[in-house]
Structure 1
Amino acid sequence: MKLPISPPVEPMLAKSVPRIPTADGMTYEPKWDGFRCIVFRDGEEVELASRGGKLMTRYFPEVVEQARRQLPERCVVDGELIVIQRDRPDGQPQLNFELLAQRIHPAASRVRLLAETTPADFVAFDLLALADESLLDQPYPHRRSRLEAALGHVAPPMHVTQVTTDPATARRWFDRFEGAGLDGLIAKPAELPYEPGKRLMFKVKHKRTVDVVVAGFRWHKSGPVVGSLLLGLYDDAGVLHHVGVSASFPMARRKELLDELEPYRGAGADHPWVHGDHERGQRIPGGVSRWTGGKNLEWEPLRPELVVEVSYDAMEGDRFRHTAQFVRWRPDRKPRSCRYDQLDRPVRFDVDQVLRGDPENGGPTSGPA
């Protein structure tokens, strides 16, 4: 490839903030829940690069083909790979990160099949180079204007993300777009150049808390301390489902947790996850998969008597989308009271409306040029 910017290039990143930031010229856009991807195109040559310089080109042949058809002849575009699930029971198209994750598969035949059955879309949100010109040093409003001019003609499954400079519109997006599976908001300061690998943007994500049952744990890879807590919620039928893990602890805290869990160890064969109630679709902790490689996922059951409050950002079906964060023990709560009906479910929203930038979404599709 003979481009002014060549892979690997680390994408510019965002740092988490607790609330939507405001400043003159700040631009806001939806935070897509997918794989960050920088597309490099030089004629027929196309590469899809993720964070860390890993190439994803072989896993998304349909995106490579769309890049050849729709992107400028020579360009570098920053964006996100997403998968939209359209066959949902409620008929509402929504992002599905789990389906996207399944696209990373070692078998070429499986890659081809998944490209047909769960094709990915690409959402562009920054332009890093065009023809022989690098735009890294240009302020963001200039790069956005060039992006809209260069990609204004693209059609699904290629998209240009909508943006706004109105904080009130950004707040409405933050509330409404979660129902389409989006992650929150990205805020970009007005004169921001593109600095690879630097956390110069801001991200605001949805955070909630819920009380869950601690029904098991996994050992840490470094030794006899707690690696992760296995979390559960009861459904209306009284079945305890595994909903995720809490795992981000300092080493000293991992040792303390082992002492705190000691009274609950030694659960017998009647533990609700030892055998599983498959007839009622019970979720139980899994084993080794292609995502974990050779990682030991054996777990130790605990008597399901401990309740912990955790924070989480969103649900993927009936489990936490990402690792939940430990908040505090809840000795005042009874385990059987930890049910799915605690969860704050977002209002359903059509992801296609977000991609189209429909006026009824609450604001303009772009800020002033």
Structure 2
Amino acid sequence: MDLPVRPPVKPMLAKAVKKIPPGMQYEAKWDGFRAIVYRDGPELVIGSRNGKPLTRYFPELVTALLANLPPRCVVDGEIVVVQDGRLDFERLSERIHPAASRIKLLAEQTPAAFVAFDLLALEDLSLLDVPLEERRKALTDVFRDAGPPVYLAPATTDREVAQLWFERFEGAGLDGVMAKPLTLPYRPDARLMYKIKHERTADCVVAGYRPHKTADTAVGSLLLGLYDAQGRLQHVGASSAFTMQRRKELVEELRPLRLADPGTHPWAAWEDQAAHESDRLPGAQNRWNSSKDQSWVALDPSLVCEVAYDHMQGTRFRHTTQFRRWRPDRTPQSCRYDQLEEPVSYDLADILGPAATER
């Protein structure tokens, strides 16, 4: 490709803040795969956040992007899957599959969309040093006539509107709000933007842990569970933000809870792939790294902790949770899904337009 900005480029990143800062451009925070699209005539590459191409996994987007993008450009955005009027990250994750036949089938059954929010290059001009305010104007011109499944991300400079988005858009599966300084140039891999995400707390059962990647004498992450309406303990996520000293201490603190017979654990069938179809268990194959060790240490599910989380994706925490404290006053059986706050439903069509949910 003979572009002024050539792949791979790492996307510009954001740091988390508690409140929406004033005097910036605001956008919804999309819950999908970050992607930078490079087009040079008939050539098109979809690059992921880590630089590896996603092109082969989304053939329907290649066709759509070639039909909607200028002949030579580089665009930053997000790949999403829309189901029932909201974003569905689980179905999006299923799109990463090694088999070409499966990729073709999923492209038909759960087609993806691309939401553009920045322009890095146009024709022979690199826009990396151009202020965001000017890049946004150019991006708006480029996507003025774009059609589904390619969209221009809504943006505003009105902080009150951004606050309204923060309160409402979660019901459509979005992840919060982004704030971007208007004079900001594009700086790959630098955390110069701001993200404002929802944070809630939940009491969860600590039912196991994964050893740290560097040593079995340290905890890598605590495995968390919640009881469903049928009384089954479901794996809902993990908590892993601990210092190394604390990781080592946790191994000793949790040692009395290690099960001599892991076969008695509610998640004992985790190595049986078929079991994952009816229950949420730890140890499912990692679609990004099939060689990753998914083994874990089974604990007696009698310990409860409070964690902070941003939002749910189906029946699990979308992101790694933050450990807050132990809850010796709570029984494991009281840690159920019904404690979780449900966001008010909001149709994605009200954000991107009716075509976003016409599936």
| Same fold at TM > 0.5 | yes
**Is the contact between residue 29 and residue 170 of structure 1 (CA under 8 Å) also seen in structure 2?**
yes
Deviations 1:341-367 (A, max 9, x none): 110111111112211299xxxxxxxxx
2:7 is the alignment partner of 1:7: yes
Q: What is residue 67 of structure 1 aligned with on the other side?
A: 65
| Deviation (angstroms), 1:206 | 1.2
CA shift, 1:275, in A, is 4.6
1:233 to 226, 234, 252: 226
Aligned-partner Cα distance in 1 for 2:234–2:345: 23
1:288 is displaced (CA, Å) by 3.7
Give the equivalent residue in structure 2 for 1:286: 283
**Is residue 267–residue 303 contact of structure 1 (8 Å, CA) maintained in 2?**
no
Whichever residue aligns with residue 268 of structure 2, its letter is V
Give the whole-Å Cα distance in 1 for the aligned partners of 2:232 and 2:283. Answer: 17
Residues 70-129 of structure 1 show CA distances to partners (whole Å, capped at 9, x for unaligned) of 11111111111111123xxxxxx2111111122122222222222222111000111111
**1:108-156 per-position Cα deviation (integer Å, ceiling 9, x unaligned):** 2222222222111000111111111222222111111111111100111
Summarize the alignment of residues 1-80 of structure 1 with structure 2, pairs less than 5 Å apart: 1-23=1-23, 26-80=24-78
Q: Distance in 2 between matches of 1:173 and 1:287?
A: 34
1:141 to 125, 129, 133: 133
- Of residues 211, 236, 242, the one that matches 2:235 is 242
The match for 1:215 among 181, 204, 207 is 207
The answer as to whether partners of 2:199 and 2:308 remain within 8 angstroms in 1 is yes
Alpha-carbon distance between aligned partners in 2 of 1:266 and 1:38, rounded to the nearest angstrom: 46
Question: What is the rounded CA distance, in whole Å, between the counterparts of 1:131 and 1:294 in structure 2?
Answer: 41
Does structure 1 conserve the Cα–Cα contact (< 8 Å) formed by 2:96 and 2:287?
A: no
The CA deviation at 1:280 is: 11
- In the alignment, the residues of structure 1 paired with residue 308 and residue 348 of structure 2 have an alpha-carbon distance, to the nearest angstrom, of 25
Which moves more between the two structures, 272-281 or 159-168? Answer: 272-281
Q: Following superposition of structure 1 onto structure 2, how do residues 1-369 of structure 1 map, counting pairs within 5 Å? A: 1-23=1-23, 26-86=24-84, 93-224=85-216, 225-266=218-259, 268=261, 269-275=263-269, 281-356=278-353
**Whole-angstrom CA distance in 1 between matches of 2:350 and 2:160:** 19
AA aligned opposite 1:237: Q
CA change 1:236–1:114 in 2 (3 A) is closer
- The alpha-carbon deviation at position 187 of structure 1 amounts to 0.4
Aligned equivalents of 1:304, 1:336: Cα separation in 2: 10
Distance in 2 (alpha carbons) for counterparts of 1:49 and 1:275 = 37
CA distance 1:292–1:223, shift in 2 (3 Å):
same
Change (3 A) 1:291 1:142: closer
What is the aligned-residue RMSD (CA, Å)?
2.1
**Identical counterparts, % of pairs:** 57
Does the 8 Å CA contact 1:79/1:126 hold for their aligned counterparts? yes
Partner Cα distance (1:163, 1:222) in 2: 43
The answer to whether the Cα contact below 8 Å between 1:310 and 1:327 also exists between their aligned partners in 2 is yes
Amino acid at match of 1:351: L
Residues 288 and 296, structure 1, Cα contact 8 Å, conserved in 2: no
Q: Deviation of residue 326 (structure 1)?
A: 1.1
Distance (whole Å) between structure 2 residues aligned to residue 298 and residue 255 of structure 1: 18
Task: Give secondary structure in 1 for the equivalent of 2:264.
Answer: coil
> Displacement of 1:203 after TM fit?
0.7
- Unaligned 5+ segments in structure 2 are none
SS of equivalent to 2:226: strand
8 Å CA contact retained: 2:205, 2:303: yes
Structure-2 change in CA distance of 1:48 and 1:288 (3 Å) = closer
Q: 1:30 to 1:289 in 2, by over 3 A?
A: closer
Measured against aligned partners, the alpha-carbon deviations of 1:304-335 in whole angstroms (never above 9, x if no partner) come to: 11000111111111111111111111112121
How far is the alpha carbon of 1:289 from its aligned partner? 4.4
Q: What is the CA–CA distance in structure 2 between the aligned matches of 1:198 and 1:290, rounded to whole Å?
A: 27
Are the counterparts in 2 of residues 83 and 121 from structure 1 also a CA contact under 8 Å?
yes
Distance of aligned partners of 1:66 and 1:297 in 2 relative to their CA distance in 1, 3 Å threshold: same
* Gap change, CA 1:113 and 1:22, over 3 Å in 2: same
Which sections of structure 1, spanning at least 5 residues, go unmatched?
Answer: 87-92, 359-369
More off after superposition, 196-205 vs 283-292: 283-292
Aligned length: 350
Pick closer, same or farther for the CA change 1:342–1:143 going to 2, 3 Å.
same
